[in-house]
C-alpha cells in the first residue's frame, strides 16, 4: 500500500494498483477481524505458528480459496510462498507471498508481493 504525503493513504491511479492493494488486505486479514464478515481473509496467522509441515501448500490453498470467494474476478497465474527454511531473509513465523495475476477478460495483469507475520 502506498502512503500519502497528505492524509493516511494515497489513492490508487490504476485498476491494477487497486486490485494489488485489495489482494494485500485480503491476504493479511484473519478470520474474525472484519465485523459481520467473519470468514473474510486468508486466515494465515495460525498457519505461521504451526509445525512447518506442508505449510507452503496450506498457505497457497488458503489464499486461493479466499481469492476465489472474495475476488472471483482475479485469476491467479502464479503464486509463490517463501518461508525462512527457503530464504534466510524471511523472518521466522513469516511468509513472503508473490502473486502474478490477471483480471478476467480485461487484459489487465499485475504482480504483487506481501509479507505476512
Tens digits of residue pLDDT in 19-36 = 999 999 999 999 999 889
Instruction: Give the pLDDT confidence score for residue 67 in this predicted structure.
Output: 98
Per-domain boundaries in the chain: 15-116
What average pLDDT does the segment 95-101 reach? 97
116 and 90 Cβ atoms separated by less than 8 Å: no
74 and 103 Cβ atoms separated by less than 8 Å: yes
Task: Label residue 66 by pLDDT band (50, 70, 90).
Answer: very high
Task: Label residue 6 by pLDDT band (50, 70, 90).
Answer: low
Q: Are strands 95-103 and 74-82 parallel, antiparallel or unpaired?
A: antiparallel
Return the CATH fold of 15-116: Nuclear Transport Factor 2; Chain: A, (3.10.450)
Amino acid at each position: 500500500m502506498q502512503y500519502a504525503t497528505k492524509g493516511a493513504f494515497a489513492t490508487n491511479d490504476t485498476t491494477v494498483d487497486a486490485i494489488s492493494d485489495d489482494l494485500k488486505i485480503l491476504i493479511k486479514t484473519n478470520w474474525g477481524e472484519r465485523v459481520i464478515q467473519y470468514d473474510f481473509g486468508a486466515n494465515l496467522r495460525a498457519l505461521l505458528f504451526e509445525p512447518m509441515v506442508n505449510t507452503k501448500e496450506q498457505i497457497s490453498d488458503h489464499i486461493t480459496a479466499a481469492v476465489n470467494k472474495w475476488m472471483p474476478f482475479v485469476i491467479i497465474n502464479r503464486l509463490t510462498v517463501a518461508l525462512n527454511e527457503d530464504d534466510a531473509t524471511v523472518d521466522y513465523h513469516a511468509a513472503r507471498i508473490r502473486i502474478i495475476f490477471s483480471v478476467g477478460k480485461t487484459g489487465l495483469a499485475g504482480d504483487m508481493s506481501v509479507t505476512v507475520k
